[in-house]
Structure 1
Amino acid sequence: MTRQQYEPLILADTEQLARPDWLELRKKGLGGSDAAAVLGISPFRTARDLYYDKLGIVTTDDQANWVALEVGTLLEPLVARIFEAKTGLKVYQRKCMFQHPLYPWMLADLDYLVDLPDGTTAIVEIKTTNYNAKDKWWYNGGEIVPVYYESQGRHYMSVMNLDRVYYCCLYGNNEDEAIVRHIDRDMAYEAELIALERDFWHENVLARIPPPYTEDGDLILESLRRSLGPATKDAPAVVFSKTQEARVARYLELQEEKRLRDTDVKTVEAEMQRLKALIVADMGVSCTAVCENGGYTVTWNPSHRATIDKNGLERLKEVHPDIYAEYITVSESRRFSIKRAKPEAA
C-alpha cells in the first residue's frame, strides 16, 4: 500500500454533542475501538456484537464495567498531564468526528493530538488499567502495545493520515506508575485492516448478514447471553443438521480425551493431597514448619471470611423479608451437557 496525500474530513463537531447523539453518530461507520472486534482480537466483544451494535439490534451492555469506564473518563485529563510531564510534549484536542475521505466507513474520535519537534503531528491515546493488567504492556521482557490497542491506533493513523500514535496508560496512583509507548505507521498492516473493515462494513453491516463467531468460547457465550437473553424453557427443541451434529460428535471426542488425561492428573493430585495431609499431620497445631536444612518453609495458615449459608439465607427471608428483598440478587446460569440417545428397543 503506497502512501497517499489526503486530509481527513470532519463528519461532525462533537464539542456540544450529547452522548446519545454521539453514540448514534458512531453507527455511521467503524471507529478505532471497533477495529479489534473486526480483526477478531478484542478481549471485550465479538464481531457479532459489533454488528448488532451498528444496526441497533443489541447494544453492548456496559453496566457491568461502568465503574471502569467512568474512572477512565474522569482520569483522562490527569493522564494527559502525566504524558506531558513525562515527555515534555504539549497535547491538545480537536472535538470532532473525523472521517476517512477515501473510505467513508472509517471514523476517528481522538483523545488528543500533539505537535512534535520535527513539525509533524501525532495522536495521543489515553488509557487506564489496574495494577495487575499492566503486564499486558510487556512481552518477554520487551515493551509492547497490547494488540487490541495497536489496532485502534493504526485505524486512527489511517483516518488522519498521520505516522505516529502515542499511548499513555496509568495503572497506579503516581507519575511513575504510568506507561508511555508509541507505534509508527505500518502500511502493510493498514492495507489489511482497511480490507477487513471494508468487508465487514459492506458484506455484514450494509448487507445485514451477521458475521460468524470466530472468537474464543467464553467471549462467544457472553455475546450470546447479551443477544439471546434469558432461557425460554418451553421453546421447542432445535433439530441439528449433519454439520451441526458433527460439532456435537467432536465435542464428545474431546470430552473423552480430557477424561483420559484427567485420570492421570487425578492420580498425581491424589498423591499430592496424601503427602499434604501427612505434612499437616506432622505440623500439629502449628501454622509453620521449617526444614532442618533450611531449604523449605511450610505454612498452613487459617483463612476466614463471612458468609451466609443456605439456612441463614432462608431465615433472613422469613424474619426480615424487606431486607432480603432489598439486597438479594437473582442471576441466571445455564448448565451445558450432551447425553447420548438410548438405542430404541427392537
Structure 2
Amino acid sequence: MAAPIILCDTAGMTNERWLECRMHGPKGDIPYTVGGSDVATIFGVSPWTTPLELWMIKKGRMKPAVKANASQLEMGHMLEPIAAHFYAQKTGNTVIDDTYMYQHADFSYALADFDRRFIRVSDGEPGILECKSCTYRKAGDWANGTYPLYYELQLRFYLAVADVNIGAFSTIWGNNPDNDLATPDIVRDKAKEDMIFERLDQWIWSLEHDKPPTMSGIPSKLALDSLARIYGASKPGLPTIEFSRKQERYLRQYLSLQDQIAEHNAEIKRLTERMEAPSAKIAEIMRDHEHGVLETTTDKILIDFVTKSTTRTDTAKLKKDYPSVYSDVIKTSESRKLKISVAPI
C-alpha cells in the first residue's frame, strides 16, 4: 500500500462544490467515484438508499433526493466537534482536524474525506475517527463495543484510503458523555478490505457497462420508497407491460394477500356494526359524563366517552370565497397504489 493522494482542501468549500468534487474529483476527470457513505449502499445494507438509486445518481439519470430529515442531518454535523472533543477526553488520544479530500493510491475511484484523525496516546499510532450521533432508541446499536455494519463498511473503506491500521467511532446520543457516548475501536482487516474493493470494482464495472443493479435482497419498504423516487409519477399513454410466466408467483401472492385483506376488512366492518347496539346503551347511561367504571370481584372496567375536537380547513369555502389564497396554499401530492385483478380470457 501507499499513502493516499491529496486532491483538494475542502475548508470553506460550498456544499455544491464539495458534491461536485465527490462526484468526479476536483478537476472533473474521474468518470465514477465511490465515497465512504456509498459503500454500505453498494453492499445493499444501507437503511436509507438502495443500490439502484445510487447507481442512477452516479449515472446522472436522477438527482439525489431531498432529505426529509435535513434538520437532523444538520444537527449531526453540528455535533461532530462535540463527539470529537469527548472522544479525546475519554481516551486521551490526540484528535486532529483534517480538511483534505483524498484519493486511494491504487483505486482511483475511491475518494474520502474524514471527520477527524487521531494519534493513539499509548504508541503514537495514527488512526481515523468517525463522529456519529443517534437517538436514544438507536443507542443499543453501540452497546458493548458494537457498531452497525453500514458504519463499519464506511470506516474500513476510510482505513484503506488513508492507509492506516486503526480507526474509531465516537457516537453521542444524549447530554451526558459519561453515559451517552460510545467509542469503539476497529482494526484494519485486509481480508475484509479485499472483499470490499472486489465489490466496489464490480460496482464501477456496472456503471461503465450500463448494467444497473436489481432490488434483490433489499427490504421491501425501502425498495418501494426508492422506486418511487427513481421513477416518479406514472406516465399516461405508455404501452402495457407484458409480464412473463416466471413472475406469476409474485402476482398470485399479491392477489392472495389482497383477498385476505378484503376478508379481514369485511369482518372488521361486521364487528364494528355489531358494536353499535351495546355502544348506544352505554352512551345512554354515560349521558354527558366523560368517564365511567364498573368494579367486579376480579377487575375494573373503565369507560371513556370523551369529546375530542378536530380543526380542519374548509377547503370548499376557501376555494369559493378566497380563490387567490386557495391557489397559493394548495399542495398536490402524488402516490401510486398497486392493484391487481383477474379477468377471464
TMscore range, shorter length: 0.7 to 0.9
Report matched runs for 1:198-213 at 5 Å.
198-202=201-205, 204-213=206-215
Cα deviation for residue 299 of structure 1 reads 8.0
Tell me which residue corresponds to 1:224: 227
User: In the alignment, is residue 42 of structure 1 matched against residue 70 of structure 2?
Assistant: no
Partners of 1:190 and 1:170 lie apart in 2 by 27
SS across alignment from 2:184: strand
Q: Does 1:51 pair with 2:55?
A: yes
In the other structure, the counterpart of 2:117 is: 113
Instruction: Report the residue type matching 1:190 in the other structure.
Output: E
1:28-62 Cα shifts (integer Å, max 9, x gaps) = 42111001111100011011111112222112213
| Cα shift at 1:156 | 0.9
SS at match of 2:183: strand
Paired letter, 2:94: K
Letter in structure 1 aligned against 2:149: V
- Structure 1 distance, partners of 2:294, 2:170, is 46
Counterpart amino acid of residue 136 in structure 1: D
SS of the residue 1:94 aligns to:
coil
Q: Give the equivalent residue in structure 1 for 2:29.
A: none
Task: Calculate the aligned-residue CA RMSD, in Å.
Answer: 3.4
Tell me the CA shift for residue 86 of structure 1.
Answer: 2.9
The unaligned stretches of length 5 or more in structure 1 are none
Structure 1 residue 60 corresponds to structure 2 residue 64? yes
Distance in 1, matches of 2:200 and 2:129, equals: 23
SS at match of 1:10: strand
Q: Deviations over 1:174-204 (max 9, x none)?
A: 43433332322233322221111111111x1
Distance 2:303 2:59 in 1: 56
CA distance in 2, matches of 1:166, 1:304: 51
**1:286-325 CA deviation, whole Å, 9 max, x = no partner?**
658697789889685959564416xx23223333444444
Task: State how far apart, in whole Å, the 2-side matches of 1:85 and 1:293 are.
Answer: 60
Task: Give distance in 1, aligned partners of 2:329 and 2:92.
Answer: 50
Pairing 1:163-174 to 2, within 5 Å after superposition: 163-174=165-176
Q: Which one-letter code corresponds to 2:129 in the other structure?
A: V
Task: Determine which of 328, 337, 343 is the counterpart of 2:339.
Answer: 337
Q: After alignment, is 150-159 or 217-226 more displaced?
A: 217-226
Return 5+ residue gaps in structure 2 as ranges.
25-32
In the alignment, is the contact (CA less than 8 A) between 2:290 and 2:306 conserved in 1?
A: no
**Alpha carbons of structure 1 residues 135 and 306: separation in structure 2 relative to 1, 3 Å:** farther
TM-score in terms of structure 2 length: 0.80
The verdict on how the C-alpha distance between 1:70 and 1:325 changes in structure 2, with shifts beyond 3 A counting, is farther
Partner Cα distance (1:239, 1:315) in 2: 46
Deviations 1:121-178 (A, max 9, x none): 111111222333333334xxx4421121111111111212222222222323443433
2:86 maps to 1:82: yes
Alpha-carbon contact 1:169-1:180 (below 8 Å) kept: yes
- Of 17-26 and 119-128, deviating more is 17-26
Q: Distance in 1 between matches of 2:219 and 2:72?
A: 23
CA distance in 2, matches of 1:125, 1:253: 47
Deviations 1:75-94 (A, max 9, x none): 32233223223333331122
- Tell me the residue number matched to 1:27: 23
In structure 2, the partner of 1:183 is 186
Q: CA deviation at 1:20?
A: 2.3
Which stretch shows the higher mean deviation, 101-110 or 319-328? 319-328
State the alpha-carbon separation in 1 of the partners of residues 308 and 88 from structure 2: 46
CA distance in 2, matches of 1:78, 1:19: 21
How far apart are the structure 2 equivalents of 1:318 and 1:58? 39
CA 1:206–1:319: 2 relative to 1, 3 Å: same
- Structure 2: how far apart are the matches of 1:158 and 1:129? 26
Instruction: Note closer, same or farther for the CA distance 1:245–1:61 as it changes in structure 2 (3 Å cut).
Output: same
Residue 136 of structure 2 corresponds to 131
1:186-230, CA deviations, whole angstroms, 9 ceiling, x for partnerless residues? 33322221111111111x112122111121222222222222122
The residue aligned with 2:103 is 99
How far apart in 1 are the matches of 2:301 and 2:157? 52
**What TM-score do you get using the length of structure 1 for normalisation?**
0.80
What secondary structure sits across from 2:242 in the alignment? coil
CA deviation map 1:100-135 (0-9, x unaligned)? 212222221110000002111111111222333333
1:108 alignment partner AA: A
Aligned with residue 122 of structure 1, among 123, 127, 141: 127
Using the alignment, how far apart are the partners of 1:114 and 1:205 within structure 2?
35
Partner residue, 1:7: 3
In structure 2, distance between residues paired with 1:166 and 1:315 = 59
Work out whether residues 60 and 226 of structure 1, in 8 Å CA contact, stay in contact via their aligned partners in 2: no
